[in-house]
Amino acid sequence: MLRTLHDNWTVRPVAGPVPPQVDAAGPVPATVPGTVHTDLLAAGLIPDPYLDDNERLLGWIGLTDWRYETTVELRPDGHDRAELVFDGLDTVARVEVNGRTVAETRNMHRTYRIDVTDALRTGTNTLAVTFSSAVRYADRASLEQGARPHVNHHPYNAIRKMACNFGWDWGPDLVTAGIWRPVRLHTWRTARLATIRPVVQVEDGRGTVDVHVDVVRAGGGHDGQVSAGGGDLRVSAEIAGREVTTMLPADQTGTVLRLAVDDVRLWWPRGHGGQPMYDLTVRLDAGDAPGDAAGSATTGRTADPTREPAAGRGLDGWTGRIGFRTLRLDTGADEHGTRFAFVVNDRTIFVKGANWIPDDAFPHRVTRARYADRLDQAADAGVNLLRVWGGGIYEADDFYAECDARGILVWQDFLFSCAAYSEEEPLRSEVVAEARDNITRLTVHPSLALWNGCNENLWGYADWGWPERLDGRTWGHGYYTQTLPELVAELDPTRPYTPGSPWSPHPDRHPNDPDHGSTHDWEVWNRLGYTAYRRLRPRFAAEYGWQGPPTWATLRAALSDEPLTPESPGMLVHQKAAEGNVKLTDGLLPHFRLPTTMADWHWAMSLNQARAVRTGVEYFRSLSPHCAGSVLWQLNDCWPVVSWAVVDGAGRRKPAFYALRQAHADRLVTVQPDGAGLRVALVNDSAEPWTGAVALSRRGYDGTVLAAGTLDVDCPAWSTRNVVVPADIATADKAASEVLIAQIGTARAVWFFAEDRHSDLPAPIVAGEVRREDGGYTVTVTAATIVRDLTLLVDTVDPAAVVDDALRTLLPGESVTWRVTSDADLDPDVLLSPTVLRCANQLVEGVPGRPRSADPRPVDPQSAAPQSAAPQSAAPQSAGPQSAAEDLISGTSRDSSRNPRP
C-alpha cells in the first residue's frame, strides 16, 4: 500500500538569525511538497521574495535551521516492510520517526527510500525532518573539501543542491529548505519492484524493448537495497498486446525481459513526424500465484514506481509510456573539423533549441499544468530541443512526459555548472547515487536525447584560471570523462553522452573550438554586439543569447520604484548580470541612441533583444549543414528579472519570443551579408522540396522599386540553399533609405542597408482597426509609411492579454492583422496609442512628430470597444542623417574565450 504523506505538516525555525515576529509565530502550516519561503509567505510572515528588494531582507532564511513535523497513522495491513519514500529533500536533512533518527541526507537531487519497518508502530507516529542551513553547510564543506573556483558568491559546488538557488546571473539568492518533492509511505509484503529500465531499439521496422527489472524481497534484510531471499517470483511485461513472463528464483533479484513490436510506429521530434507512444506494463507476482493473477499495474515513476495496493494477488506493478526511435550523436570528422549533429531515425535533425532553467526559484511550484504551458510556448516558438541546464535540477517526470508528447528533444546536463567539484568523499558517493537515481528515472523517455556531463566546466578549466586556483585539487574531470559515461553506459546504453558543453570531440582541441563540437558564445553579448554572430561559424551553437527586460506588466507588478528607471533601486536588484546595464547600453548604441524615457528604454531594449535573437538564429540556420543546431540562451525565467529569456518570469512572451518563432519558421528566407555583397538563404525544415522563384527587389522607403530580379531556387527537403544576390540589387544607392525584400510565397525577408539610428526611417503613419470578437480582438494595422518591427505590446493594457505575432515590417500600403486574446474591455484608442503600438521608427532620433512616450496606461475598464481608430500620427517623412551601411561582417576571426568569471 502506498500513500502520500502531505497532510498536517508544520514548520518552525530551530536555530539561526530569526526575526522576532517569526520566532513569536511558532510552528506555521507547511505545504508539502514545498519550501520554507513559501510557507512563511503563506503565513503572512515575510513579504513576497520576488518583489522589489525583498530578496535582500530574506537572506536569514537560508542561514536558519528548520524543522518540519507531522504525524503518520499506521494501521496493520499485513505488510512485511514499511518504507518512507522521499522523492526530494532540500537538502541537509535529518529524518526522525518517533524521535529516532532514521536517515541523514545531504543531496537535493536524490530519491530516498528509508526502511522504517522497525521505527513505525501501529497507531500514531511522529515524523520530523530537520533541515540544517544549506549556506552554512556549503561554507563548511568548501573548507573541508578544499576551496575550488565557482562563479557567483556562495560555494554551491560544495553541496549537491540546485546551484542557481544560491543566486545566478539571472536568479535570486534565496536559499531554500524543505520537502520539495512528494513523500509517501510504502508498506508491502514479500517483494516489490525496485527499478524498471526499458532500453529501446529499432531495427528494420521492428522495435524491441529490453525491460530491465530489479526487485527487492522482504526477506533480504532491512537495508533497503536490492536483496535476495523469499520464494520464486514471477515477472511479466506487456506491450501492444504481447506479453512475456519469466520466473525469478529465490536467489535472484533482477531480470531482463525482451519484447518486440513489428511494424513499429516511430517517435519523431516535432516537425519531423508524430509522437506515437506505447504503454509498457510490468507486473510482479508471487511465483505460486496462478498465471492469470489480477494485475496491479499503475502509472508511476520509473526509478520508484507509484503503486496501488495490489489488486487481487499481484505484488506490484508499473506502467510507463515508451517511444521507439533510434538516436545518435554524429561527432564524425569532416573537412571543416568535427560535427555535432543529432540523428534521429537516421535523419539529421537541425536543432532549433533553447536552454531551459528551473521555471521558478521555488521549483516545487512548477505544476504539470505550468510545465505544459511553458512547453506549449516552446513548441509555439518552433523549439524542437530543450537543454536542461546543469545549474538547475533534474526536472520532475511531468516535464519529460510533456516533452515526449510534444516531440521536444531533451538534452539533460548532469548538475555541474561553472565550477570545479571535489571528486573525493563525501561528494563522490552523492554524485554517483544521484546519477544512478536520475538516469534510471529518465531512461524511459523517448524525448531524452543526450546526457551531458557539465556546463562550461571543461571550458572553465581551460580558460578561467582554475589550474592555479586548484593547486592540484580535483575539479570534476573524472566525473565527466569516466564516472558519468560509465553509469550511462551501464544504465542507459543506447543514449549518447558528452562530457561537457561546450565540448570538442577532438581530444587535442580547446573545448570551445568552433570547428569541433558544441560551442558557447558569450563574447557577442559581452563585448562585440549582435551583428558579430555573423563572424562565427559554429558546428553547433549550444549557448548564446542577448538580454532584454521582462514585459512591462511583469516589471510593473514586481517593482514599485517611483520613478522606475533603468537604474532605480528595484531595477538594479532585478538585473543580476555582471555589468548588465552597461552591456545593454553598449549593445544598443550601434543601432539606436539611448532613449530618455523609461517606456522608450523598455521598448528599445526589448526590440534590441529581439533583433539579436533574430540575427543569431537566422544566421546559424543559414549555415546548416555546417552548423547543425542553435540552442538559444534561454527560454524561460525563474522570477521577474532582466535576462536573456524570451518568456519572462511571469510566463509572458517578450518581443524576442516572436523573433525566435519567426526565425524558427519551417521555411525560412533570410538575407545575410556575403563578403561585400549579400546572399539569400532558404532554409527548408520540412519534408517537401521548396522550389520556385525568389522575388528580389531593392526599394526606397516609400516603396518605389529601384532594382528587381528573381532567383530560381530548388531547396530539397531538410536542406538549406544559399544564393548570391546580384550586385545591382544588393548595392544601395542611398543606404539610409533603401531596403531589400526577398520573397517566395508568403515567406519574406527584409534587409535594411542602414542601422536604424543612421537611417531615414520616418515618423510612422499607420491606421488601425480593432474588432471585438469571441475571446478577444482582431487588430488590423495598415501602414502609410514604412514601419519597422511593428509590435503590439498588449500586456501594457491588459496583463493577461496575448497577441499572436509581432515585429512586422510593413511597406507603405501594407497591412498586418493580429489576433489578441483578452477578456478585458480594451479601448481601441489606447490599444493603438504610440506606447502600445510600437515600432522601431519611434526610436529614431530626429523623427519629426516622434511620439513623446509616457508610461503605458492601464485601460479604463468603463470604455467600450469601438470598431476602428484614426491614424496614429500624420507627420511628414523626415530626412534623417545619412550613413554608411552596416559594416557587413564576413571575417573569420573567432574569439572562443570567455571572460574569466569572477
> In sequence order, which residues have a C-beta less than 8 Å from that of residue 191 and are 6 or more positions away?
215, 216, 217, 218, 230, 233, 284, 286, 315, 316
Among the residue ranges 168-176, 193-201, 606-614, 826-834, the one whose residues contact ligand BMA (CB under 6 A): 168-176
Among the residue ranges 101-109, 167-175, 260-268, 809-817, the one whose residues contact ligand BMA (CB under 6 A): 167-175
Residue 461 engages ligand BMA in binding (rule: CB under 6 A): no
Among the residue ranges 163-171, 293-301, 613-621, 699-707, the one whose residues contact ligand BMA (CB under 6 A): 163-171
Give the separation between CA 880 and CA 407, rounded to whole angstroms.
48
Least gap, CB of 512 to ligand BMA (angstroms): 11
Cα-based torsion angle of the residue sequence 219, 225, 228, 234 in order, rounded to the nearest 10 degrees? 90
Nearer to ligand BMA, 236 or 547 (CB): 547
Q: How many C-alpha atoms does 82 have within 13 Å on its Cβ side?
A: 20
Nearer to ligand BMA, 603 or 657 (CB): 657
Distances in whole angstroms, Cα of residue 461 to Cα of each of 142, 151, 325, 421: 18, 13, 36, 11
Is residue 518 within a helix (H) or strand (E), and if so which, with residue range? strand 518-520
Least gap, CB of 168 to ligand BMA (angstroms): 6
Among the residue ranges 166-174, 179-187, 393-401, 831-839, the one whose residues contact ligand BMA (CB under 6 A): 166-174
Task: Quote the radius of gyration of the chain (alpha carbons, Å).
Answer: 29
Among the residue ranges 116-124, 162-170, 276-284, 552-560, the one whose residues contact ligand BMA (CB under 6 A): 162-170
Residue 455 engages ligand BMA in binding (rule: CB under 6 A): yes
Least gap, CB of 389 to ligand BMA (angstroms): 6
- DSSP lists the bridge partners of residue 699 as 705, 739
CB 706 within 8 A of CB 733: yes
End-to-end CA distance of the chain: 52
Nearer to ligand BMA, 440 or 504 (CB): 504
Least gap, CB of 124 to ligand BMA (angstroms): 47
Q: At what angle do helices 598-622 and 655-663 cross, to 10 degrees?
A: 20
Least gap, CB of 543 to ligand BMA (angstroms): 5
Nearer to ligand BMA, 170 or 362 (CB): 170
Nearer to ligand BMA, 238 or 456 (CB): 456
CB 843 within 8 A of CB 759: no
Is residue 56 within a helix (H) or strand (E), and if so which, with residue range? helix 54-57
Q: Residue written as cell 553509469?
A: 487
Query: 537-556 mask for ligand BMA (x: CB under 6 A)?
Result: ------x-------------
Nearer to ligand BMA, 169 or 760 (CB): 169
The grid coordinates listed for 473 are 585539487
Q: How many C-alpha atoms does 723 have within 13 Å on its Cβ side?
A: 20
Query: 617-646 mask for ligand BMA (x: CB under 6 A)?
Result: ----------------x-------------
Which residues from 338-357 bind ligand BMA, rule CB under 6 A? none
Residue 166 engages ligand BMA in binding (rule: CB under 6 A): no
Least gap, CB of 520 to ligand BMA (angstroms): 5
CB 220 within 8 A of CB 229: yes
Selected from 364, 520, 664, 850, the binder of ligand BMA by CB under 6 A is 520
- How many residues bind to ligand BMA according to rule CB under 6 A? 10
Distances in whole angstroms, Cα of residue 290 to Cα of each of 248, 251, 258, 313: 15, 21, 22, 9
Nearer to ligand BMA, 419 or 826 (CB): 419
Selected from 39, 285, 437, 456, the binder of ligand BMA by CB under 6 A is 456
Q: Residue written as cell 510612422?
A: 764
Least gap, CB of 579 to ligand BMA (angstroms): 11
Least gap, CB of 643 to ligand BMA (angstroms): 8
Residue 168 engages ligand BMA in binding (rule: CB under 6 A): yes
Nearer to ligand BMA, 452 or 684 (CB): 452
Least gap, CB of 164 to ligand BMA (angstroms): 8
The residue sitting closest to ligand BMA, measured at its beta carbon, is 169
Is residue 55 within a helix (H) or strand (E), and if so which, with residue range? helix 54-57
Burial environment of residue 681 by CB neighbours within 10 A (0 to 12, 13 to 18, 19 or more): buried
Give the separation between CA 206 and CA 202, rounded to whole angstroms.
6
Which residues from 380-419 bind ligand BMA, rule CB under 6 A? 389, 418
Give the separation between CA 333 and CA 327, rounded to whole angstroms.
19
Nearest residue to 531 via CA among 654, 619, 634, 655: 619
- Interface with ligand BMA by CB under 6 A: which residues? 168-170, 389, 418, 455-456, 520, 543, 633
